[in-house]
Amino acid sequence: MPAGPPWYNGPPMPPAAPFPPGYGAPPPTAPWPSPAPSNRVEWDGATAQSTEPWYALGMDQDEYDHIAAVFLEFDADDSGFLDRGEVLRMARVLNMIRSPADEQALLAELNPGGRGVSREQLTYWMSQHRLDPTTTYGLSRQDYHSTLFAFNEFDRNRDGRLSVDEFERLAMRLGFASSGQAARQLFQSVDADHNGSVSLHEFLSFRASTARRR
């Protein structure tokens, strides 16, 4: 029987039980294997419980669930598919399009046959088209999502744009203006294309500029 460690003065120690097969093997790295029909996957000969569907798409559960909630919100007729109008309304709210050219490109890629977009199609497409807020706006992911949430809260008709009145309430709520008059003056500078409303992209660009000045 093997001896114990140098500081051990007791009787000889019994041999240690062998580790189970696969113990200590490094965990699998991305990309994760696709879920198998049996709900179990294998790597390096070891079997483990299957990853959930969001892992196969490189997402976490919160992101996956958020896309499902967005789909349900914009599937106004509960058909299980987003039609052209529903896709464009969703895209404006999520900052996926900024111009008519963006609209056409999105529809051509996401819904080429015009038959409607299922939740699975939308989830997969969004997993492949993640916006990096740090690169695009210089915002942390937390600041980006909090700005998105605030914008959508005040965008009452969900058209992806803020009217003067909507912007005024939002600017005062977030402390960007101390009065209605100051908010309306700010509106003129944030409305970069001077079309009488502030888009989500314009507001995010403004939010990024205030973050850089801190």
Q: Each residue of 158-173: pLDDT tens digit? A: 888 999 999 999 999 9
What is the C-alpha separation between 14 and 163, in angstroms, rounded? 78
What is the C-alpha separation between 14 and 78, in angstroms, rounded? 66
Q: Is a pLDDT exceeding 60 seen at residue 111?
A: yes
Assign 112 to helix, strand or coil.
coil
Which CATH code of 1.10.238.10, 3.30.70.1290, 3.20.20.30, 3.30.200.20 fits the domain covering 134-212? Answer: 1.10.238.10
Instruction: Please determine whether the domains at 61-130 and 134-212 fall in the same fold group of CATH.
Output: yes
Looking at residue 214, its pLDDT comes to 58
- Confidence band, pLDDT 50/70/90 cuts, at residue 154: very high
Whole-structure pTM over 0.75, yes or no? no
The answer to which of 44-58, 119-133, 142-156 has the lowest mean pLDDT is 44-58
If one compares 16 and 53, the residue with the highest pLDDT of the two is: 53
Assign 42 to helix, strand or coil.
strand
Omega before residue 11 within 30° of 0, cis: no
Tell me the domain boundaries of the chain.
30-59, 61-130, 134-212
> Which CATH superfamily is 61-130 part of?
EF-hand (1.10.238.10)
Kindly compute the dihedral angle of the four CA atoms of residues 20, 24, 25, 30, in this order, to the nearest 10 degrees: 130
What is the C-alpha separation between 35 and 38, in angstroms, rounded? 8
